[in-house]
Amino acid sequence: MSEAPTFEPLGDDAVLIRFGAGIDAALSARVHAAAARIAAMDIPGILDLVPGYASLGVICDGAFRADDRQAFAYERIVETLRGTIEENASAMVSKPRIVDIPVRYDGPDLDDVARRAGLTATEAAARHAAGDYTVAMLGFAPGFPYLLGLDPALHTPRRATPRTRVPPGSVAIGGAQTAVYPQTLPGGWNLIGRTPLALFDLSRTPPNLVAPGDRVRFRAIDHEEFETLCTKNSA
């Protein structure tokens, strides 16, 4: 039986719901179930929901009504949230989407990652592509997915000196986490490959390729297929 969530203020107009600590698939599933329930309730005064690995931020309109009965109050919002997520949460969760992401495993840090793991670059790439990943959260930048499910053999500490420009589509490992850079960003993660897919594209609706709770599978592709997909995407 999982523990009941706890609530803490995040300033005077936001609340953090905590389901536990650390990075764990079961915790992550509870976060997404709670987010889905709260979103479905359309509670007045709630502006936004921010899933984390083990917690859910609830951003409120601290001043949504001025009269005393309706104004935001921490205790009242907590009571509402508690009631909302304690109902049968699992009933709300739909079957996760599976998103296939083709990757050309030729990143500048692939050799470092492989060496630490005592593997060849090809073996390291195969292990990464064999994983079954879940999008725990999006954060840091629009569309940046933090993925659960990295093979422990591939855990690699962040680079001592972060790069100022990581190219878009870079597939990277930072500690126990793996992710795909949606656009050119600074970053200290180890770059092991690149996808020709756009993770975040404002001309699409929705702009994000993956959403919290989605399952992700990486598929190794060669240079030729990478170029073909790039051409197809830009067409």
Partner 1 sequence: MHKEFRVIAVVKPGFLTSVQDRGRYGIAGLGVGHAGAMDDVAARLANALVGNARDDALLEITLTGPTLRCETDTVVALTGAELDARVDGAPLPAWRPVPLVRGSVVVCGGMRRGARAYLAFAGGIDVAPVLGSRSTDLNAAIGPFGGRALAAGDLLPLGRPRRTLPSRAPAWSIASPRWFDPASPLPLRLVDGAHTGALTEASRAALATREFRVAADSNRVGFRLDGPRLELAHPLELVSEAVAAGTLQLPPGGQPIALAAEHPTTGGYPRIAHLIAVDRARLAQRRPGDAVRFAWCDPREADAARRARESMLQCIEYECDYRLRAL
The residues binding partner 1 (CB under 8 A) are: 8-14, 16, 21-23, 35, 47-57, 59, 62-63, 66, 68, 71-74, 137-144, 146, 200, 202, 206-208, 211-212
> Cβ of residue 11: shortest distance to partner 1, in angstroms?
3
Give whichever of 40 and 63 is closer to partner 1, judged by the CB atom.
63
SS (H, E, C) the chain: CCCCCEEEECCCCEEEEECCCCCCHHHHHHHHHHHHHHHHHCCCCEEEEEECCCEEEEEECCCCCCCCCCCCCHHHHHHHHHHHHHCCHHHHCCCCCEEEEEEECCCCCHHHHHHHHCCCHHHHHHHHHHCCEEEEEECCCCCCEEEECCCHHHCECCCCCCEEEECCCEEEEEECEEEECCCCEEECCEEEEECCCCCECCCCCCCECCCCCCEEEEEECCHHHHHHHHHHHHC
> Cβ of residue 58: shortest distance to partner 1, in angstroms?
8
> Cβ of residue 140: shortest distance to partner 1, in angstroms?
6
Give whichever of 185 and 220 is closer to partner 1, judged by the CB atom.
185
Give whichever of 74 and 163 is closer to partner 1, judged by the CB atom.
74
Give whichever of 143 and 193 is closer to partner 1, judged by the CB atom.
143
Q: How far apart are CA 126 and CA 105, in angstroms?
A: 9
Give whichever of 90 and 205 is closer to partner 1, judged by the CB atom.
205
> Cβ of residue 189: shortest distance to partner 1, in angstroms?
13
> Cβ of residue 100: shortest distance to partner 1, in angstroms?
19
Give whichever of 11 and 44 is closer to partner 1, judged by the CB atom.
11
> Cβ of residue 131: shortest distance to partner 1, in angstroms?
19
